[in-house]
Amino acid sequence: MKILVTAGSTREPLDPVRYLTNRSSGKMGYALANAGAQLGHHVTLVSGPTNLDIPINVDYVPVQTAQEMFEAVSVHIAGTDAAIFSAAVADYRPASFAENKIKKSEDRVTLELIRNADILGSARAEFSYEGVLVGFAAETENLEENARGKLQRKDCDLVVANDVSRAGIGFDSDHNEVLLVYPDRTDALPVETKDHLAHLIVQAVQELRIRKG
């Protein structure tokens, strides 16, 4: 199979020295890219900045912002059999970018943000994607219900859901505990290393691909 993976966080710049981002380490996405390559697939990894080594045997496409990730995905998703969106894309970016470093002024300032495009949510309608579509849901409450909402709204074949409020798993950890939420069922997986989970997720994607024909 040809598989596209998005990973890492995005950086939304405010000025030459500051940006908005989030706590995603990129570990799950890189583990997925590695697992895909190890299982013999052709993997393109579109990644925001991380501290991780670039996986071997994958096509690596580095990006910084959500807009750059959107453009890279719109190009590289074509012709793939499956697309796995594990990136923690910033939902908003600063409304303007200051060419020079912003100097401090009043005691209280207000930052205006505007919505970034939903890349996963654009796959079916905007990119006319017909391959296996996998999203991630990082939630702090109502895990399964919120993940199922995303599955339906973004027309996914699978949403991998994890509870980011729990200590010791998820963000920056080497372990995770996820629900695999499908249109017709939910599979709860036990706590696993991200490497092992990545293999299980790629195997689930292989099965979805076979079922899609």
Q: Are 47 and 29 in contact (CB under 8 A)?
A: yes
CA distance 194 to 15: 35
Is 150 an interacting residue with respect to ligand CTP (CB under 6 A)? Answer: yes
CA 48 to chain centre: 10
Q: Are 147 and 161 in contact (CB under 8 A)?
A: yes
Q: Looking only at Cα atoms, what is the longest distance across the chain?
A: 60
Q: Which residues pair with 13 in a beta bridge?
A: 19
| CB contact set of 28 (below 8 Å; sequence gap of 6+) | 7, 86, 136, 176, 194, 197, 198
> What does the block give as tokens for 161?
């859901």
> What does the block give as tokens for 211?
């079922």
How many residues sit in the footprint of ligand CTP (CB under 6 A)?
Answer: 15
Is 116 an interacting residue with respect to ligand CTP (CB under 6 A)? Answer: yes
Which is closer to ligand CTP, CB of 107 or CB of 141?
141
Q: Which of 4, 45, 77, 89 binds ligand CTP (CB under 6 A)?
A: 89
Which is closer to ligand CTP, CB of 102 or CB of 145?
145
Is 180 an interacting residue with respect to ligand CTP (CB under 6 A)? Answer: no
Q: Which of 19, 30, 85, 129 binds ligand CTP (CB under 6 A)?
A: 85
Q: Which of 59, 118, 155, 192 binds ligand CTP (CB under 6 A)?
A: 118
Q: Which of 136, 176, 181, 199 binds ligand CTP (CB under 6 A)?
A: 136
Provide the binding-site residues for ligand CTP, judged by CB under 6 A: 6, 66, 85, 87, 89, 91, 116, 118-120, 135-137, 150, 153
